[in-house]
Chain A
Amino acid sequence: MKGESFIVRLKRSWGAYILCTPTLMLFSVFMIYPVFYVIRLSFYQWDGVTQMKFVGLENYIRLLHDPIWWKALKNTVIYVLSKLFVELSLALGMAVVLNSKLKGRKFFRSVFFLPVVTSTAVVGIVFSGILSPFDGTFNQILTKLGLMRSFRDWLGDPKTALYAIIGVAIWHDVGINMVFFLAGLQSIPEYLYDAARVDGAGPWRQFIYLTLPMLRPIALIIVMLSIIGSFKVFDLVNVMTGGGPYYASEVVTDYMFKYGFAGSGLGTGVVAQQGYAATIGIGLFLIIAVLTFFQLKLGRIGE
């Protein structure tokens, strides 16, 4: 086969090209081309309807001086970090417990995973009912348990709105991370634990000196997926608070779509500027790219 000319290989491969055609068409039109489009758009001022106006780096300068962008970024980072630490430790704990030969572990596993399959938009609506300020169940439970004296407007109070959303997000996603950790735990060979036991290590020391180091490779992937996924949070914020009150729970993607789809159901309170939306999108992309890069490096150092 070697030494075959390029043309001959090309001719011989016509079948493969036909097989790839639908994917390539979809891919170039809706995945590759939009990347160049969004870069170009970020140098323009455009309301989406009238003539586009080239403005150079103006959108980027505006982004750096936009207090709401920084606020949205700060909120997103709070969201990312809370999910990272609270959700992943919860998930690891669940995985360790449900990996043991506990009675009923199958039942608990399937119940804990159930929220993962639900739509975040639909769940967001249901939770906004549970968290409702006057007669919401959440308020009633907390006051009845004596944890709180008066009712709170969880989603309407700038102090709590973001954390209420984070709580719902953890409810929704902890199950999938539990399953990831379970996959990691099951890949640790049993004989290592036998050896540790022979050496006199109790359950706690087995966990610290055996389980955690062995989980490292999969944990790095889980952390990366969690960070990247969390940076893109949109549904819950849009459905539960719309970024409010007064941008108290605004996140990057929701802020982007306010400019990108202003005047529609998505965008409220701002003037349409799709060039600016594109710039915010590039900001999001750069953050994710840098984080991914460092993650991959970090993973390699450990090896």
Chain B
Amino acid sequence: MKGKAFRTFGKVVLYGLLVLWSMICLYPLIWMLSTSLKTMSEVAKNTMALIPEAFRWENYVEAWTKGNFGTYFKNSIVVTVTTLLLVLWTASMTAYAVAREDFPGRRLILFSLVATLFIPAEATLVPVFHIAKNLGLLNSLAGLIVVSTAGSQVVSIYLIQAYFRTIPKDLDDAAKIDGCNLFQTYWHVILPLAKPVLATVAILTFMGTWNAYLLPLAFTMSKPELRTLPVGLVAFQSGFAFSVNWPLLCAGAAISLMPIVVLYIFLQRYFVSGIAAGALKG
């Protein structure tokens, strides 16, 4: 019976550790939500209490209007959604060409795509900044969208073209016999079949763009009204000279985090498999 007691003990310890790490994972988010509903004086009196004395939803209204998080939210949505659509469109077209057509220069394109995987985007940000400036793209959401789209190409093309290769080539031939040209085949035949991989790419791009900090920071430095949520939040924090207004700051943080967390809760399976595929295959 000794063995059984030992095993039960081991199981208790194991569950203890799992619950502990779950709490560590969730605590910062719960702390953020509870602080966002407190008053300043309540935070000073007792930061530990996870349930606020009274739920001050006004903090969110104040952050949204006076803290400009409404503007930042709108910017984040515009940048993320447009980038997402542009990435899906451009990457799937190129992926179709390299997966289906044999044309001079195909290998060169594939090679340069892979080569840039080893160049850290951070290292080339200063030149990208100047190029965008010369093209008149700096200090505009359009510039941010274009550069974000460029940055998401490689992994997206790689994932989509790998998927296209699994679709039988007979379909293209059949479409051709039915009178479809290259573009019609791509649009009407192949794209509808590639929905799973397009969903993966969409999630990866959404997450990358929504959470991005460095690029939007560099692109909106002299235009505060163009900031996205993460950039706006950091600027909001540096704006407090003496004591940080944690309730408002946490309300801003919650506005920034909640959309993606909610999306994750509902689309969990796709998030996990998509991110894993993006990193491991890309």
A interface residues with partner B (beta carbon < 8 Å): 6, 9-10, 12-13, 15-20, 22-24, 26-27, 29-35, 37-38, 41, 48, 94, 97, 102, 104, 108-123, 125-130, 135-137, 140-141, 171, 175-176, 179-180, 183, 218, 221, 225, 228, 231-232, 234-235, 238-239, 253, 256-257, 260-261, 264-266, 274, 277-278, 281-282, 284-285, 288-289, 292
Contact = CB atoms under 8 A, between A and B. Distances in A.
Given A23-B91, A284-B122, A125 B47 contact: no
A171 B27 CA distance: 11
Nearest to A37: B127
Contact of A126 (B32, B89, B131, B268): B32
B25 A115 contact: yes
A195 to B, nearest CB: 24
B233 A118 contact: no
Interface string B17-33: 01001101110110110
Contacts of A115: 25
Contacts of B280: 180, 183, 218, 221, 225
Given A24-B109, A37-B130, A281-B122, A119 B96 contact: no
A6 B257 contact: no
A120 B217 contact: no
Contacts of B31: 126, 129-130, 137
Interface string B142-157: 0000110111010001
B65 interface: no
Interface string B91-109: 1011011100101111001
B97 A121 contact: no
Contacts of A30: 128, 131, 146-147, 150-151
A34 B127 CA distance: 5
B131 A33 contact: yes
Interface of B: 14, 18, 21-22, 24-26, 28-29, 31-32, 35, 44, 47-48, 89-91, 93-94, 96-98, 101, 103-106, 109, 112-113, 116, 118-120, 122-131, 135, 146-147, 149-151, 153, 157, 181-183, 186, 207, 210-214, 217-218, 221-222, 229-231, 233-235, 237-238, 244, 246, 249-250, 253, 256-257, 260-261, 263-264, 268, 271-272, 275-276, 279-280
Contacts of A20: 93-94, 97-98, 109
A278 B32 CA distance: 38
Nearest to B244: A129
B24 A125 contact: no
Contact of A117 (B44, B105, B207): B207
Per DSSP, chain B at the interface is helix
Contacts of B118: 288-289, 292
Contacts of A110: 268, 272
Given A20-B109, A135-B44, A256-B122, 17 more contacts: A23-B153, A26-B149, A30-B128, A31-B116, A38-B127, A97-B14, A112-B22, A114-B25, A114-B264, A115-B25, A117-B211, A119-B260, A121-B233, A122-B229, A122-B230, A136-B47, A176-B276
Contacts of B124: 31, 34-35, 37-38, 281
Contacts, number: 263
20 contacts: A10-B104, A22-B90, A23-B157, A30-B131, A37-B124, A37-B131, A48-B130, A94-B21, A110-B268, A113-B271, A117-B263, A119-B210, A126-B32, A126-B250, A176-B279, A180-B276, A238-B214, A253-B122, A264-B222, A281-B125
A128 B182 CA distance: 54
A129 B101 contact: no
B257 A23 contact: no
B126 A274 contact: yes
Contact of A16 (B97, B122, B229): B97
A140 B21 CA distance: 19
A141 to B, nearest CB: 8
Contacts of A127: 28
A15 B101 contact: yes
B238 to A, nearest CB: 8
Contacts of B249: 125, 129
B25 A120 contact: no
Contacts of A140: 47-48
Contacts of B101: 13, 15-16
B205 to A, nearest CB: 13
B37 to A, nearest CB: 14
A293 to B, nearest CB: 9
A55 B130 CA distance: 20
B234 A125 contact: yes
Nearest to A235: B213
A180 B250 CA distance: 32
Contacts of A176: 275-276, 279
A120 B211 contact: yes
A119 B104 contact: no
A118 B257 contact: yes
